Structure 1
Amino acid sequence: MIVVTGGTGGLGGTTVEHLLERVPADRIGISARDTSKAQHFADRGVRVRQGSYEDPAALRNSFAGAEQVLLVSGNDPDADMVALHRNAIEAAVAAGARRILYTSQQGAVPGNPYRPSDVHIATEALLDDSGAAWTALRNGAYGPLDQVLGPWQRTGVIAQPQDGPVPYTDRADTAEAIAVLLAGDRSVDGPVDLTAPNAVTFDDLAEIASGLTGRPVERIVLDDEQWVADQIATGVPDQMARLMLSWYQAARAGYFAEAGPLLAELLGRPPRTAGERLAAHIAA
């Protein structure tokens, strides 16, 4: 059995959808904090059990019979995520899982100023010590582009802190590739990057957006502290603004610059580029 945590979330839920195209529903399980949100999967024959990283006993029950477990990383800045991930890893091992797949992050290496990197580095170390086979999926940034570009369609300006090259990756492509791995079509060990084929900067995206819209889109570099102050003024908590700033700082330092071929290999086709995603967003 393949058990997916976070199966009611964006990445986990899309992964389950792709799994249903590859393996029988009765070979798939979901561990969900709120099982009612996974009823649509239960109706299709997927096993749904309650489980959360805060409850090791419930996790062991939700992982029972699993040969593989997908641990979708938590992102609560106020929680001890390493300890919670340890709970999940230990529960998977106790359930007899032969492989644990974990959604890590591209650039999860020492020195990366983006703070979640420390959680991923520590979790990967726990996986290495677990005794189970493991895969750390160091996913390229797959959030909506407007989260990092800002309201450029309204303003005609990408006004953000200094950035660097990033292979912005489509979440649906990432989920499909994870499903390919879980379905057993291919197995990889240790940390691997899953990224779009090319890394681009905001300057590149401004040029692409200009071509797509037929009007100039300007790139303006904002001072870090002024950007943080502007974010706070719009209601973003100081802690969250500075967390996002550390992402820009990591990008400009080159921690996300490398684009790898594995995502395309798993998909059997080219992943969607940032330009294609921008075009789809504009057309929507």
Structure 2
Amino acid sequence: MILVTGASGHLGQSIIEKLLPQLPEGENLAVGTRNPEKLKHLKDQGIDIREADYNDKNSLITAFRGVSKVLLISGHAPNDERIKQHKNAISAAVLAGTKHLCYTSFTHPAPESRFLFAEVHYKTEELLKNSGLTYTIFRNAWYADLLVEGIEQMLEGGKFEAAAGNGRINSIPRSEIAAAIAKVLASPGYGNSTFELTGPDTFTYEEATQWISEAYQKEVKYLDVNTEQIRKLYGGDASFGFEMQGILSSYEAMQANEYDYVSDDFEKIMGRKPLSVREFIQEQAKQSKSAG
């Protein structure tokens, strides 16, 4: 049996959708969630729904029993809390007799990274590698989807505000990440492997803004602002909690070119190149026009 945690999130839902048609004959799928009621509709597809709370190790042990392969989708909490949650999940997998644990890490999870949440992924990877479990780590690049969040407001205002400077970054659509992860989950092997799931090229925010202008046929200008302006743009620390430092530190990492690299790991898994950010933006624009 394969179990996907964090199944109510966007990535988890996309992975499940892509994984179901690929399940080997005789293989069953389960999902883990803090609130099973939210996923009760999946029962109609033959999916076993199990309560799994990252903060409750016993619930994880129970959820992982009879499961040979678990996908641990990274949680969402301040660093210390999230590392503890991931430690719970890895320990529970060992105690439950799970053999293989897959983890959604993040690009450049280095101790010296300027990105606040890199610490979470670095420490989780170390815990996993020392657990005795067979592991697969997916270091996911930035979601291209983030570039078109709030696109209506962006087009109306004619500006894209960010603090990335001239840093080159890599990005890949969430759906492409889900496709690669689903393929690995449905296939034998891939043990003790680390995959860098990046797009086919790097770009600056200014270039991405030009692609948005072209695709949506409306001029949008990139405005490189400072981190204090970003803080105000998001409503300040009080309204955005611990995430604010994550946002600000992500821009510092971009300015330092921490994400200026490309991997062909996606192509090794899927047998094709991933959709580029420019192609993704063009697809989003077409969908927007057809919906309108």
TM-score, reference length from structure 1: 0.91
**1:1-284 map, 5 Å:** 1-23=1-23, 27-77=28-78, 80-142=81-143, 143-147=145-149, 151-163=153-165, 164-184=167-187, 187-232=190-235, 236-237=239-240, 239-283=242-286, 284=288
Tell me the amino acid that sits aligned with residue 153 of structure 1.
L
Deviation at 1:235, TM superposition (A): 7.5
Tell me how far 1:267 sits from its aligned partner.
2.3
Instruction: Spell out, residue by residue over 1:157-202, the C-alpha distance to the aligned partner (whole angstroms, 9 max, x if none).
Output: 2221134222221111111111111111551524321111111111
Q: 1:239 to 1:51 in 2, by over 3 A?
A: closer
Larger displacement relative to structure 2 (182-191 or 9-18): 182-191
Task: Judge conservation of contact 1:139–1:174 (CA < 8 Å) in 2.
Answer: yes
SS at match of 1:144: helix
- Aligned partner letter, 1:44: Q
Residues 149 and 158, structure 1, Cα contact 8 Å, conserved in 2: no
Q: 1:123 to 1:88 in 2, by over 3 A?
A: same
Q: Could you tell me how far apart the structure 2 residues matched to 1:208 and 1:234 are?
A: 31
SS at match of 2:267: helix
- Return 183-192 or 194-203, whichever deviates more: 183-192
Residue type at the aligned position of 1:145: L
Instruction: Report the CA distance between 1:229 and its aligned residue.
Output: 2.9
CA contact (8 A) 1:149 1:160 kept: no
Moved more, 216-225 or 95-104: 216-225
Question: Percent of pairs identical after alignment?
Answer: 28
**Range 139-148 or range 127-136, more displaced:** 139-148
Measured in 1, the distance between the counterparts of 2:158 and 2:8 equals 35
Once residues 248 and 148 of structure 1 are traced to their aligned partners in structure 2, the CA distance between those partners, rounded to angstroms, is: 18
- Aligned letter for 1:86? K
The change in CA–CA distance for 1:234 and 1:187 in structure 2 (over 3 A counts) is closer
| Alpha-carbon distance in structure 2 between the residues aligned to 1:71 and 1:50 | 14
- Whether contact under 8 Å (1:150, 1:159) holds in the other structure is no
**Segment drifting more, 190-199 vs 227-236:** 227-236
CA offset digits 1:83-136 (Å, max 9, x no partner): 111110011111222211001000111211111110111111100110011122
Amino acid in structure 2 at the alignment position of 1:53: Y
Structure 1 155/148 Cα, relative in aligned 2: closer, same or farther at 3 Å? closer
Shift of the 279–236 alpha-carbon distance from structure 1 to 2, 3 Å rule, reads farther
Aligned length: 284
Report the TM-score when normalising by structure 2. 0.89
Q: Is the alpha carbon distance of 1:266 and 1:232 closer, same or farther for their aligned partners in structure 2, counting shifts above 3 Å?
A: same
* Counterparts of 1:276 and 1:29, CA distance in 2: 33
- Contact (CA 8 Å) 1:199, 1:259: kept in 2 or not? yes
Partner SS, residue 105 of structure 2: strand
Query: Cα gap change, 1:201/1:273 in structure 2, threshold over 3 Å: closer, same or farther?
Result: same
Deviation of residue 149 (structure 1)? 8.0
* Cα distance per residue 1:241-271 (max 9 Å; x no partner): 3320111111111111112111123223222
Q: Is the 8 A contact 1:6 1:31 kept in 2?
A: yes
Q: Residues 25 and 14 from structure 1, CA distance in 2 versus in 1: closer, same or farther, beyond 3 angstroms?
A: farther
Alignment gaps of 5+ in structure 2: none
CA root-mean-square deviation: 2.3
d(CA) in 2 for partners of 1:149, 1:116: 26
